[in-house]
Every structure is written in C-alpha cells, then in structure tokens.
C-alpha cells in the first residue's frame, strides 16, 4: 500500500517548482482577473510583467486588449490624447486589431483630426468589413469634410448593420448638405423615434423645414431643440430666420441677439439682425449691425447689399453705391444688388448707369421675376422717354 504522507510533500514541491518555472502564467492569470473587472492599469501592469518573461503572441494580444480597454475608458471621459496614446500602443502590440484602429479613429474624430480619423477607420474596415461603428464614424468624418456622398454611403452601411439614432442623424444632415430636404427630414424623424430627446435631431429637422418654407413646423422643432440644448447659437439663428419669414420681427431680433450672445463672431447673425432692423425702419441700428457683419466677414456679399440699401433709405447715396458695387464684385450674379444700385443711380440722375443695371437684372437667370418685371418697366419708360 502506497504511503500518501510521503508522496504529498513531493507533489507540493513539484507544483511550487512548476509555478516558479512559469511565473508568466501567474501574471497572465492576475491580468485576466483585472481585465474582467476593467481595472485597466492593473491589467496592463500584470500583462506587461508576463510580456517581459515570455514571447508568446497571446501575451501581446492580451496586453493590446488592455490598452484598448483603457483607451476607451479615457475616451469616455473625453481624455482624448491619453486615449489616442493607448490605442496607438494597442496597435503596436497587435497590428491586426480592428477594434483598436476603429477606436483610434473615433478618438481622432472627437479631436477633429478628420483625415487621420479616416485613415484609421479605413484600416479598421479593411481588417473587419462588418464593423458597423467604423462605418458610422467614417461617415461622421466624411460629413464634417462635406463629402456628402461618401458620408451617406458609409452611413447606409452602418444603418444596415445597426440602425441607431446617431447614424440617422448624420445621414439626415448629409442629405440636408445636398439640398435633399425631404430625405433629411425623414432621417431626423427616424432618429427621434429611436431617441426622442436628442436636441440635434430637432434642430436638423427644423432646419430642413426652414429650407422647405414650412415656417411653423420649423419654429416648433427649433423651439424643442432649444429646450433640450439652450446653448447652441445656430439653433437660435435658424429659429430667428423662421420668425423673420413669418414676419414676426421682434422674436426674430430676439433670436438673432441670442445667437450673437452665444457666438460673438457670428457674421450672418449680425447681417440678418441688421436686415430685420431695416424692415422695422431702424436704419442706424441696422447699419451698425451690418458694419459689424462686414468687419467679421469682409467677403459677405449680402451684408454689403443690405448696408447699401440702408444707406439708400437714408439718402446716403455716396455710401450706398460703393457698398452695392462691392456686393456685385463679390457675387457677380447678385441681381438684387444690381437692382438696388440701379435705384441709387436713378436718385443721383445717373440714368445711363441705372439703365445698365436694370438690363443686367433682366439678363441674369437668378433674378426674381418681380424684379425683372419692374426692371423691364423702367427700361421701357426710359427708352420711350428718349
């Protein structure tokens, strides 16, 4: 009969020697436990110790996963530089990690490094063509670069794989960028069905309604967007535009003012508030706003046109004509500026110059039909008078 009391110490010694002979396994075991608890620093430390002791590929694979996990945690807390550093380390350890490439692309989107993000997301998609999040984030990057068709193609794939509100929102915005208002509105509606409290979706759909001339629907959506996100200047600006189109000028001015308070260099908001002041007969206030718009954006043709009109309304012809001329220089097919300058030339008895501008209004394909008819009438009267 075998004496167990003699064998047991031998087994213990053997197991102890085995453990000492393979300490990497112990570090891996500890690293796995930390990984499961998402204790990333500890997991990296344990896996790192294992990596120093063994060249086994699985060790680097696990270490890469831990860096990827910690990078995601950094990203969730908006610590983007730390996140990118960890994702980069993960890719060094495991160049075939589609997740790490996709995550670094996501982090670079959040730091507005669009080209670098696209490169990372290309890599992720090459490694895993079914990775929906990579298509979503690459669609986001293309969207921000205003490459609408590429954005839509990627977002289609993301939605096919995983239909979520953010994908519909980006695609809706891309459709708006292409002037496809109905498709944009439909996507924002779908986004709101999935996540009813997303201010950006109300804002996007409201802008779509604005561009379609559905003023009441625009105001309703933009108001809801403001309730959810009261700190977005463009939402106030767009609602102000809708109010202005509804001839509700006081709320329009209030919204343009709020947009300017939130974004002090908002040139078009100064322009639109200035134009609204023109409509209320507040000429000096209008001129001040339009001058500010021009100082912020010297290439803003509409601001020169509007200030020229304000000068004309106050009989400041020597100031009106240069502004209207500058608007035309910046936008050679600007029929309204030609029409306004024609009126100014008439007022100072420069009839030949006025006639040339009226003829230009008639010739331009972009001219408003009402302005064309008024121009034709004056041309006819002028030619008959001669």
Structure tokens at 102: 């996709």
In a domain, 72, yes or no: yes
Mean pLDDT lowest among 43-47, 92-96, 216-220: 43-47
In angstroms, the CA 131 to CA 162 distance is: 10
In a domain, 68, yes or no: yes
pLDDT at 12: 47
Q: What is the mean pLDDT of residues 214-240?
A: 97
Q: Residue 54 belongs to what domain range?
A: 17-93
Mean pLDDT lowest among 63-67, 154-158, 276-280: 63-67
Asked whether the predicted pLDDT for residue 225 surpasses 90, the reply is yes
pLDDT greater at residue 373 or residue 32: 373
pLDDT in tens, 130-142: 999 999 999 999 9
Of 127, 80, 79, residue with least CA distance to 101: 127
In a domain, 379, yes or no: yes
What CATH number is given to the structural domain containing 341?
A: 1.25.40.10
Point out the domain boundary residue: 93, 114, 136: 93
CB 66 within 8 A of CB 47: yes
pLDDT at 25: 73
Point out the domain boundary residue: 78, 93, 108: 93
User: Under DSSP, is residue 232 helix (H, G, I), strand (E, B) or coil?
Assistant: coil
> If pLDDT is split at 50, 70 and 90, which confidence band does 223 have?
very high
In a domain, 244, yes or no: no
Which residues have C-beta within 8 Å of that of residue 302, sequence separation ≥ 6? 271, 327
> If pLDDT is split at 50, 70 and 90, which confidence band does 54 have?
low
> If pLDDT is split at 50, 70 and 90, which confidence band does 235 have?
very high
What CATH number is given to the structural domain containing 56?
A: 1.25.40
In a domain, 106, yes or no: no
**Global pTM?**
0.84
Asked whether the predicted pLDDT for residue 112 surpasses 70, the reply is yes
In a domain, 320, yes or no: yes
In angstroms, the CA 234 to CA 29 distance is: 53
In a domain, 22, yes or no: yes
The DSSP-derived string for 156-217 is: HHHHHH---HHHHHHHHHHHHHTT-HHHHHHHHHHHHHH-TT-HHHHHHHHHHHHHTT-HHH
Asked whether the predicted pLDDT for residue 29 surpasses 80, the reply is no
In angstroms, the CA 147 to CA 97 distance is: 27
Point out the domain boundary residue: 38, 63, 93: 93
Of 141, 140, 195, 138, residue with least CA distance to 163: 195
Structural domains counted in the chain: 2
Asked whether the predicted pLDDT for residue 33 surpasses 60, the reply is yes
Q: What percent of the chain has pLDDT over 90?
A: 76
- 3-7, 21-25, 180-184, 371-375, range with greatest mean pLDDT: 180-184
In a domain, 131, yes or no: no
CB 69 within 8 A of CB 35: yes
Q: What is the mean pLDDT of residues 269-296?
A: 98
Asked whether the predicted pLDDT for residue 242 surpasses 80, the reply is yes
């Amino acid at each position: 009969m075998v004496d167990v009391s003699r064998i047991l110490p031998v087994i213990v010694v053997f197991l102890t020697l085995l453990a000492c002979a393979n300490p990497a396994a112990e570090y891996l075991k500890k690293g796995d436990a930390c990984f499961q608890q998402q204790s990333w620093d500890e997991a990296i430390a344990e896996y790192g110790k294992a990596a120093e002791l063994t060249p086994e590929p699985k060790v680097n694979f696990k270490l890469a996963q831990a860096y990827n996990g910690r990078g995601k945690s950094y990203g969730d807390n908006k610590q983007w530089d730390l996140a990118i550093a960890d994702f980069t380390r993960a890719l060094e350890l495991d160049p075939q990690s589609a997740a790490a490439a996709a995550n670094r692309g996501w982090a670079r989107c959040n730091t507005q490094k669009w080209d670098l993000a696209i490169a990372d997301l290309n890599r992720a998609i090459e490694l895993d063509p079914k990775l929906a999040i990579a298509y979503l984030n690459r669609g986001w990057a293309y969207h921000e670069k205003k490459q609408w068709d590429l954005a839509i193609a990627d977002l289609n794939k993301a939605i096919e794989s995983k239909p979520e509100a953010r994908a519909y929102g980006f695609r809706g915005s891309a459709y708006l960028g292409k002037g496809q208002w109905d498709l944009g509105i439909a996507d924002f509606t779908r986004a709101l069905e999935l996540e009813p409290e997303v201010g950006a979706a109300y804002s996007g759909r409201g802008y779509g309604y604005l561009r379609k001339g559905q003023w009441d629907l625009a105001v309703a959506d933009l108001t809801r967007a403001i309730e959810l996100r009261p700190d977005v200047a463009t939402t106030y600006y767009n609602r102000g535009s809708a109010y202005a189109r509804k001839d509700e000028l006081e709320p329009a001015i209030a919204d343009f003012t709020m947009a300017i308070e939130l974004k002090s260099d908002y040139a078009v908001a100064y322009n639109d508030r200035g134009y609204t002041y023109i409509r209320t007969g507040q000429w000096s206030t209008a001129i001040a706003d339009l001058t500010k718009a021009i100082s912020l954006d010297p290439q803003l043709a509409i601001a020169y046109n509007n200030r020229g009109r304000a000068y004309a309304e106050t009989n400041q012809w020597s100031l009106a004509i240069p502004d209207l001329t500058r608007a035309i220089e910046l936008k050679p097919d600007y029929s309204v500026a030609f029409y306004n300058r024609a009126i100014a030339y008439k007022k100072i008895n420069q009839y030949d110059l006025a006639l040339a501008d009226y003829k230009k209004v008639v010739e331009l394909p972009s001219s408003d039909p009402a302005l064309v008819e008024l121009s034709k009438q004056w041309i006819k009267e002028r030619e008959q008078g001669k």
